[in-house]
Structure 1
């Protein structure tokens, strides 16, 4: 999943960025990780792919900056395990990037000095992942005892430093009923934004299949209850990978309408446009979707989902297309 969104866009607007869609570089700097998540989209890459050298990272940052890209997300794997992450962040700052985000499992943020080092280097957005309202659910999915406590401590440390925190939570068969409680926890922690991302059936999740993937029609009501809790508290919150026909009047919670386009730099491949990949290759729609009032904006589910569960859950919403 590609970093978060509204905070990036809002900050660039406040800074008087040029009109037009903001572009953002997603750069995966290594696949080592100190969690072993059941839903990891990177799968076995940790075993076969190494770490991106700093010189290569700097070159890719400069190339993207020359193309007018002004946002960057450092991700992986777990980017905080890269020993040169702070130097990479400084390089992004020097290259003129205005939004510099660290997408992480959040465990190293439990160390206040580490948080300060990334802040001082130029990072201005932090996106830790939290997958349960308590350690039982979270740690059962990360297979890293103590990871929930470290991530929660990390969120608190970041907020004490006044930093912008946008969390992501993967929605699985194990945790979907817990999402309202998780939303209440995130509100109490003072996060600036949170997102519930329905599991993508690739990597480790593809091996688990129905053992870890819930039906969207079962999980989405709990996702939407979490959205209502966040909104009532004034916290921006979003869903990912939920087609509009399931959003029950909360279509503006769909994050896809806000995700900045831009290149993705992996260790073994590159994409010029994340948006084109999602809409042309990654996601699927069927002819019946054309009858839906949201057809012009909805991307459909990741194509692996209907391959596993079929299309019966997705029913076109009748009526005129909403004004944008």
Structure 2
């Protein structure tokens, strides 16, 4: 006799937990996600989640939902600033920066909110430490390319990868009031060093680097918006596109947007955030190359 459907769901989720695909503290699929993934009724999904709780594999976290049960509660004295920052980054990566609060982190770390304040002064300092930590994830190249353009590409692609891993970063970093974090300043130093000695004046060098960093940040702004939409609705980007495919086809077939229809229906067109980043990066560096060539001919930019 076949096992009840809810037990098959429990077995699959149990296997994911055992394999480490769902780590302690990770959210398990919600009832809505289980309904969609396994094609079952609400009662079946609810029963499966209840069985996991009964087995001690999951626990409910207020304001978060059902998560994989973690190790035994650690004493507050085991907390460190590094642990707090690491947990904050983990929460922000999954749910966005708005989900990070001292109360939420206290729940995730099984500690009191007051104990966290012994390690970080508050949300502003926490965000600054988070930014510094993620900027320092990838060490700089041991021997950077000699060509200025190749050096900039190396640094900017690394910065793009950091944004891809941490969608909240674009919203956290300020262009007008930059956070003074050592790892971020080191990145800026490497970018400036790539342009030093090319004949550009200080103002042009600084404007070029800030513009390049802001280009990466601007390209990454959509990342957190997508994360927030996916978290709030449970609908992925692909699901959303599929859901609106008919509406889009109808609009394009109306004849009101002939050029748009020609472009987006071209089978050779493949548009995503990475392709937009690469296209924009080439354009940014092509424009900068004009300034470099002009400076090396002994002319000031704008002459």
TM-score range, shorter chain: under 0.3
Please state which structure has a larger fraction of its residues in helix.
2
Q: Which has the higher contact order (CA 8 A, sep 6+)?
A: 1
TM-score, length-normalised on structure 1? Answer: 0.25
Please state which structure has a larger fraction of its residues in strand.
1
- Asked which structure has the greater CA Rg, the reply is 2
